[in-house]
Homo-oligomer: A and B are copies of this chain.
Amino acid sequence: MQLTILGCHSATPRIDTNPTSQVLQIKNHMFLIDCGEGTQVQLRKAKIKFNRIKHIFISHLHGDHYFGLVGLISTFRLLTRETDLHIYGPKGLKEVITLQMKLAESWTNYKLIFHELTSTKSELIFEDDKVEVHTIPLDHRVYTNGFLFKEKPGERKLDMNAILNNDIDVAYYRKLKQGADVVDNNGELIKNSELTKAPAPVKSYAFCSDTAYNPSIVPIIKDADVLYHEATFLEKHAHLAPKTKHSTAKEAAEIAKLANAKSLILGHYSTRYNDYEDFREEASSVFDNVLLSKDGKSFDFDDLRS
């Protein structure tokens, strides 16, 4: 599981700071999360193959989180994409994208499938055999969701020594991986736990931007391996946070602590700050494992655990 930050700054794109966009590589998926202006160029810089993106998750309809989407959709068309593209985001997104396609008289030759979100409760919005994605209702000036990406537990691993010692027929291997007990060649029942080992532990990633300090999300993101939480302000500007429905670095850390997250990545820095180390420092007073996002930086979730 790997997260690449394409942009982690709030508000306006500038020469060296890009608005929010991330790519999460999880199992065989390449999920794009938010898509500020310039995301397609950031994807090229990060050498991410456009065709691998099949699902795009948009948190909310402020421009710094989605103004790059219509351009990316057009570019996919120009690159003669054929693969379906699923877009998850607030109601209204479909209207604004289709209006622009209509005005350009340029429809996609691939299938564009919108999954418009309106619920204010966490819901399962994507699931296959390996991964599930849930919304995280956030508290911002417009309807906003974070997203929780969770690996599903894999199959149990065969303990080949125990299997050979117990003379288990190869026909049972599939059932064993699925957790069933089996009988040996003498007709004796052998417990699954004696023949298999636990699957690799599953990982999860919670993306929370933009939001005011909102402890009601804690049960949803509980025990997340990695929590990305917006930290638009430092505590010295704490008075601006509730007004703009953003968080401070300290508040982000408090959420990480309450949720028992393993790592916290900060981002969505206000353009008023130059030194992002201040964000790490402030959050570290509350929570141990604080990391700073940076445009172009990748986080490997295995490295974060060690």
- Chain A residues close to B by CB (< 8 Å): 11-15, 37-38, 40-41, 44-45, 61-64, 67-68, 70-71, 74-75, 78-79, 90, 92-93, 95-96, 99-100, 103-106, 141-142
Task: Judge whether B38 and A41 touch: CB under 8 Å.
Answer: yes
How many of these chains are in the complex?
A: 2
Complex contacts, A100 vs chain B, CB 8 Å: 61, 63, 96
A106 / chain B contacts, CB cutoff of 8 Å:
62-63
For the A-B complex with A15-B44, A15-B45, A37-B37 known, give 20 more contacts whose Cβ atoms are closer than 8 Å: A12-B78, A13-B41, A14-B44, A15-B41, A37-B38, A37-B71, A61-B100, A61-B104, A63-B74, A63-B100, A90-B103, A92-B103, A93-B103, A96-B96, A96-B99, A96-B100, A96-B103, A99-B99, A103-B142, A105-B141
What is the CB-to-nearest-CB distance from A20 to chain B, in angstroms, rounded to a whole number? 13
For A76, give the chain B residue with the smallest CB separation.
B12
Chain B residues lying within 8 Å of A92, measured Cβ to Cβ, are 99, 103
Chain B, residue nearest A17 (CB): B41
